[in-house]
Protein backbone atom coordinates (compact mmCIF):
# COMPACT_ATOMS: atom_id res chain seq x y z
CA UNK A 1 0.00 0.00 0.00
CA UNK A 2 3.00 2.30 0.52
CA UNK A 3 3.62 2.58 -3.22
CA UNK A 4 0.00 3.59 -3.90
CA UNK A 5 0.27 6.32 -1.27
CA UNK A 6 2.63 8.09 -3.65
CA UNK A 7 -0.27 8.58 -6.06
CA UNK A 8 -3.27 8.87 -3.74
CA UNK A 9 -2.07 10.80 -0.70
CA UNK A 10 -1.07 14.46 -1.07
CA UNK A 11 0.52 14.47 2.40
CA UNK A 12 4.22 14.17 3.07
CA UNK A 13 7.26 14.95 0.98
CA UNK A 14 8.99 13.41 -2.02
CA UNK A 15 12.50 13.89 -3.40
CA UNK A 16 13.26 14.85 -6.99
CA UNK A 17 14.04 11.41 -8.43
CA UNK A 18 10.95 9.60 -7.08
CA UNK A 19 8.89 12.64 -8.14
CA UNK A 20 10.22 12.42 -11.70
CA UNK A 21 9.39 8.72 -11.87
CA UNK A 22 5.92 9.21 -10.36
CA UNK A 23 5.12 12.15 -12.63
CA UNK A 24 6.29 10.21 -15.69
CA UNK A 25 4.02 7.30 -14.74
CA UNK A 26 1.05 9.65 -14.35
CA UNK A 27 1.71 11.33 -17.71
CA UNK A 28 2.08 7.96 -19.46
CA UNK A 29 -1.22 6.82 -17.97
CA UNK A 30 -2.90 10.08 -19.02
CA UNK A 31 -1.78 9.49 -22.60
CA UNK A 32 -2.73 5.79 -22.43
CA UNK A 33 -6.20 6.69 -21.13
CA UNK A 34 -6.97 8.09 -24.58
CA UNK A 35 -7.48 4.46 -25.60
CA UNK A 36 -10.67 4.57 -23.53
CA UNK A 37 -12.07 6.85 -26.24
CA UNK A 38 -11.83 4.17 -28.91
CA UNK A 39 -14.99 3.28 -30.77
CA UNK A 40 -15.58 -0.11 -29.07
CA UNK A 41 -15.33 1.43 -25.58
CA UNK A 42 -17.46 4.49 -26.30
CA UNK A 43 -20.07 2.33 -28.03
CA UNK A 44 -20.54 0.26 -24.88
CA UNK A 45 -19.86 2.66 -22.02
CA UNK A 46 -19.77 6.11 -23.61
CA UNK A 47 -17.07 8.35 -22.08
CA UNK A 48 -17.60 7.16 -18.49
CA UNK A 49 -14.41 5.01 -18.29
CA UNK A 50 -12.39 7.91 -19.71
CA UNK A 51 -13.94 10.35 -17.23
CA UNK A 52 -13.21 8.06 -14.27
CA UNK A 53 -9.63 7.45 -15.42
CA UNK A 54 -9.03 11.17 -15.93
CA UNK A 55 -10.46 11.96 -12.49
CA UNK A 56 -8.18 9.44 -10.77
CA UNK A 57 -5.17 10.50 -12.80
CA UNK A 58 -5.77 14.20 -12.12
CA UNK A 59 -5.89 13.47 -8.39
CA UNK A 60 -2.74 11.33 -8.66
CA UNK A 61 -1.02 14.20 -10.52
CA UNK A 62 -2.04 16.57 -7.73
CA UNK A 63 -0.86 14.20 -4.97
CA UNK A 64 2.59 13.73 -6.51
CA UNK A 65 3.03 17.44 -7.18
CA UNK A 66 1.75 18.53 -3.76
CA UNK A 67 4.35 16.30 -2.09
CA UNK A 68 7.13 17.67 -4.25
CA UNK A 69 6.05 21.27 -3.66
CA UNK A 70 6.07 20.65 0.07
CA UNK A 71 9.55 19.10 -0.20
CA UNK A 72 10.78 22.15 -2.13
CA UNK A 73 9.38 24.48 0.53
CA UNK A 74 6.43 25.82 -1.48
CA UNK A 75 2.69 25.90 -0.86
CA UNK A 76 0.52 23.37 -2.70
CA UNK A 77 -1.96 25.90 -4.11
CA UNK A 78 -0.30 26.05 -7.54
CA UNK A 79 -0.69 22.28 -8.00
CA UNK A 80 -4.36 22.49 -7.01
CA UNK A 81 -4.98 25.34 -9.46
CA UNK A 82 -3.30 23.52 -12.35
CA UNK A 83 -5.19 20.30 -11.53
CA UNK A 84 -8.50 22.19 -11.63
CA UNK A 85 -7.52 23.88 -14.91
CA UNK A 86 -6.62 20.50 -16.42
CA UNK A 87 -9.88 18.97 -15.17
CA UNK A 88 -11.84 21.77 -16.83
CA UNK A 89 -10.07 21.12 -20.15
CA UNK A 90 -10.89 17.40 -19.85
CA UNK A 91 -14.56 18.30 -19.29
CA UNK A 92 -14.52 20.50 -22.40
CA UNK A 93 -12.91 17.68 -24.38
CA UNK A 94 -15.52 15.20 -23.14
CA UNK A 95 -18.30 17.59 -24.10
CA UNK A 96 -16.92 17.71 -27.63
CA UNK A 97 -16.76 13.91 -27.70
CA UNK A 98 -20.34 13.66 -26.43
CA UNK A 99 -21.41 16.11 -29.12
CA UNK A 100 -19.72 13.91 -31.71
CA UNK A 101 -21.31 10.73 -30.33
CA UNK A 102 -24.78 12.26 -30.21
CA UNK A 103 -24.53 13.87 -33.64
CA UNK A 104 -23.95 10.64 -35.50
CA UNK A 105 -20.87 8.78 -34.43
CA UNK A 106 -18.11 8.89 -36.99
CA UNK A 107 -17.39 11.47 -39.61
CA UNK A 108 -15.42 11.16 -42.83
CA UNK A 109 -12.24 12.37 -41.15
CA UNK A 110 -12.57 9.89 -38.28
CA UNK A 111 -13.25 6.99 -40.64
CA UNK A 112 -9.92 7.76 -42.30
CA UNK A 113 -8.09 7.62 -38.96
CA UNK A 114 -8.29 11.26 -37.85
CA UNK A 115 -9.03 12.40 -34.33
CA UNK A 116 -12.12 14.12 -33.00
CA UNK A 117 -10.32 17.45 -32.79
CA UNK A 118 -9.18 17.13 -36.40
CA UNK A 119 -12.73 16.31 -37.41
CA UNK A 120 -14.06 19.32 -35.52
CA UNK A 121 -11.53 21.65 -37.10
CA UNK A 122 -12.27 20.33 -40.60
CA UNK A 123 -16.02 20.84 -40.16
CA UNK A 124 -15.53 24.35 -38.77
CA UNK A 125 -13.22 25.24 -41.66
CA UNK A 126 -15.69 23.78 -44.18
CA UNK A 127 -18.50 25.80 -42.62
CA UNK A 128 -16.33 28.90 -42.77
CA UNK A 129 -15.56 28.40 -46.46
CA UNK A 130 -19.23 27.87 -47.30
CA UNK A 131 -20.27 30.92 -45.26
CA UNK A 132 -17.79 33.28 -46.91
CA UNK A 133 -14.49 34.89 -46.01
CA UNK A 134 -15.72 37.09 -43.13
CA UNK A 135 -17.29 34.14 -41.39
CA UNK A 136 -14.16 32.09 -42.13
CA UNK A 137 -12.14 34.33 -39.87
CA UNK A 138 -14.65 33.88 -37.07
CA UNK A 139 -14.81 30.09 -37.41
CA UNK A 140 -11.04 29.81 -37.73
CA UNK A 141 -10.56 31.81 -34.54
CA UNK A 142 -13.20 29.71 -32.82
CA UNK A 143 -11.42 26.49 -33.81
CA UNK A 144 -8.10 27.85 -32.59
CA UNK A 145 -9.60 28.93 -29.26
CA UNK A 146 -11.18 25.50 -28.72
CA UNK A 147 -7.90 23.74 -29.50
CA UNK A 148 -5.96 26.03 -27.17
CA UNK A 149 -8.48 25.61 -24.34
CA UNK A 150 -8.13 21.84 -24.59
CA UNK A 151 -4.36 21.56 -25.07
CA UNK A 152 -2.89 24.47 -23.09
CA UNK A 153 -3.62 23.09 -19.58
CA UNK A 154 -1.73 19.89 -20.44
CA UNK A 155 1.25 21.93 -21.68
CA UNK A 156 1.13 24.11 -18.55
CA UNK A 157 1.03 21.01 -16.32
CA UNK A 158 3.98 19.46 -18.16
CA UNK A 159 6.02 22.66 -17.88
CA UNK A 160 5.14 22.92 -14.18
CA UNK A 161 6.29 19.33 -13.64
CA UNK A 162 9.62 20.03 -15.34
CA UNK A 163 10.10 23.19 -13.30
CA UNK A 164 9.22 21.39 -10.08
CA UNK A 165 11.61 18.53 -10.83
CA UNK A 166 14.48 21.03 -10.93
CA UNK A 167 13.72 22.60 -7.50
CA UNK A 168 16.07 21.59 -4.69
CA UNK A 169 14.69 20.11 -1.49
CA UNK A 170 14.18 22.60 1.31
CA UNK A 171 15.65 22.07 4.73
CA UNK A 172 13.34 20.32 7.16
CA UNK A 173 12.21 22.80 9.84
CA UNK A 174 13.44 21.86 13.35
pLDDT at 106 over 50: no
Show me where the domains of the chain are located. Answer: 2-165
- In which band, very low, low, confident or very high, does the pLDDT at 136 lie, cut at 50, 70 and 90? low
pLDDT digits (tens, 9 = 90+) for 120-132: 666 666 666 666 6
Task: Please tell me the least confidently modeled range out of 51-60, 79-88, 112-121.
Answer: 112-121
CA distances from 146 to 10, 95, 121, 124 (A): 31, 12, 9, 11
Looking at residue 64, what is its pLDDT? 97
Count the residues in the chain. Answer: 174
Amino acid sequence: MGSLALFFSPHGRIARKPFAIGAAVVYLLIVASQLLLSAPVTARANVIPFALAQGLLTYAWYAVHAKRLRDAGHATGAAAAIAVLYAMSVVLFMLLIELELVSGGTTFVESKGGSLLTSLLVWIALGAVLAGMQAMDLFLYLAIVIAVLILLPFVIALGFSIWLATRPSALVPP
